[in-house]
């Protein structure tokens, strides 16, 4: 099979028939063998009934329906597991992503050798309240990940099949699939300017909270990629530095008291100095951080997949 198209959705019953018809038209024109996998993320409207109706009319249409709303990442995870095509295309169900982009995305994967191609909605039909935070978010993601993409969160992406089988999308990590792919060893990541259309039906299902969550997830992903299997390198180093600073500070406080006492100068008790308590706090925090790293190291060393290394070729 040439292409699997995965479409996660939540309450998009109006757009589904038009989207399915559009995808089918593109596939027939380009003589692709294909499947369309709709992931119904606990919709409360008639989305699933529409999907079943489309499946009866076209055997290439399939779907998965969640009992409740889990989010886009779980929907993509299930879709990736089900996908059979050589190239996997993901797109949103709101008709803002154009299926006309599919042939070129397919060519970039199969002919140009990309592992992943991400869409870039250079011209967006979104309000300023959405585009400005998006630009800031993408700039931060580029800096942290080292991947030069303009639009990390674009729903329109193409993947080589083996890529989606070797990454785990969880929580809200769908925003960082290129970063997940890079961490899994798939570094040939490209970008294509894609057409962005104004929403035709309904309203956006995402609020501003996704930007806050996005930064928290980015921090988690950065930490896991750098220190996930060696937490002692982070917590142990930070804890050691804090303990040493606290220890040196408390020695200085005690030495100053002894010096002033023998020099006949006015002095106060060590316990009357605020620096004593600050130094003591630093030593306690340093010890706790070091122990956190030690416990994390024990967990990492006993993790089931600690030695799961992806091998590209073997002779």
Domain-located, residue 71: yes
Q: What pLDDT is attached to residue 229?
A: 73
Long-range contacts (CB closer than 8 Å, 24 or more residues apart) made by 294-298: 294/232, 294/235, 294/236, 296/231, 296/232, 296/235, 297/230, 297/231, 297/232, 297/236
Is the same domain home to 205 and 240?
no
Domain-located, residue 312: no
Is the same domain home to 12 and 90?
yes
Domain-located, residue 117: yes
Return the CATH number at 48: 3.90.550.10
- Give the whole-angstrom CA distance, residue 70 versus residue 215: 20
Is the same domain home to 96 and 190?
yes
Is the same domain home to 151 and 294?
no
Q: Are the C-beta atoms of residues 20 and 54 closer than 8 Å to each other?
A: yes
Q: Are the C-beta atoms of residues 222 and 142 closer than 8 Å to each other?
A: no
Q: What pLDDT is attached to residue 219?
A: 79
223 CB-near residues (< 8 Å, 6+ apart): 234
Q: What pLDDT is attached to residue 303?
A: 64
Is the same domain home to 284 and 237?
yes
Is the same domain home to 194 and 267?
no
Q: What pLDDT is attached to residue 80?
A: 96
Give the end of a domain, one of 203, 227, 251: 227
Domain-located, residue 23: yes
Domain of residue 15 covers: 3-227
Q: What pLDDT is attached to residue 172?
A: 81
Is the same domain home to 154 and 272?
no
Is the same domain home to 170 and 266?
no
Q: What pLDDT is attached to residue 200?
A: 67
How many structural domains compose the chain? 2
Is the same domain home to 86 and 26?
yes
Is the same domain home to 24 and 173?
yes
Domain-located, residue 98: yes
Domain-located, residue 8: yes
Is the same domain home to 9 and 120?
yes
Domain-located, residue 131: yes
Give the end of a domain, one of 206, 227, 248: 227
The pLDDT profile of the chain, 315 residues, written as one tens digit per residue, is 999 999 999 999 999 999 999 999 999 999 999 999 999 999 999 999 999 999 999 999 999 999 999 999 999 999 999 999 999 999 999 998 999 999 999 999 999 999 999 999 887 666 655 667 778 888 888 988 889 999 888 999 999 999 999 998 988 888 899 999 998 899 999 999 998 776 667 666 555 556 667 767 777 777 777 777 788 888 888 999 999 999 999 898 888 888 888 887 887 888 888 888 999 999 999 999 999 988 888 877 776 665 565 555 665
Give the end of a domain, one of 227, 259, 274: 227
Domain-located, residue 159: yes
Is the same domain home to 26 and 172?
yes
């Amino acid at each position: 099979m040439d292409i699997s198209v995965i479409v996660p959705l939540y309450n998009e019953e109006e757009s589904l028939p038009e989207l399915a018809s559009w995808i089918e038209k593109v596939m027939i024109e380009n003589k692709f063998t294909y499947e369309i996998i709709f992931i119904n993320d606990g919709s409360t409207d008639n989305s699933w009934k529409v999907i079943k109706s489309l499946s009866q009319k076209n055997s290439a249409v399939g779907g998965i329906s969640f009992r409740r709303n889990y989010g886009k990442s779980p929907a993509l995870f299930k879709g990736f597991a089900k996908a059979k095509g050589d190239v996997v295309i993901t797109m949103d169900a709101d008709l803002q992503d154009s299926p006309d982009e599919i042939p070129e995305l397919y060519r970039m994967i199969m002919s140009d050798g990309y592992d992943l191609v991400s869409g870039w909605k250079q011209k967006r039909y979104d309000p300023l309240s959405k585009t400005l935070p998006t630009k800031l978010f993408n700039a931060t993601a580029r800096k942290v990940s080292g991947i030069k993409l303009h639009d990390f969160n674009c729903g329109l992406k193409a993947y080589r099949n083996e890529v989606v089988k070797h990454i785990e999308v969880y929580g809200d990590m769908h925003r960082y699939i290129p970063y997940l792919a890079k961490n899994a060893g798939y570094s040939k990541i490209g970008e294509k300017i894609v057409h962005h259309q104004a929403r035709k039906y309904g309203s956006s299902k995402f609020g501003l909270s996704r930007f806050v969550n996005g930064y928290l997830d980015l921090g988690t992903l950065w930490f896991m990629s750098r220190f996930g299997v060696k937490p002692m390198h982070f917590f142990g180093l930070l804890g050691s530095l804090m303990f040493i600073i606290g220890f040196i500070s408390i020695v200085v406080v005690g030495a100053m008291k002894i010096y002033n006492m023998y020099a006949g100068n006015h002095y106060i008790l060590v316990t009357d100095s605020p620096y004593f308590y600050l130094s003591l706090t630093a030593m306690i925090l340093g010890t706790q951080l070091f122990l956190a790293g030690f416990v994390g190291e024990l967990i990492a060393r006993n993790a089931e997949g600690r030695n799961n290394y992806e091998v590209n070729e073997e002779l």
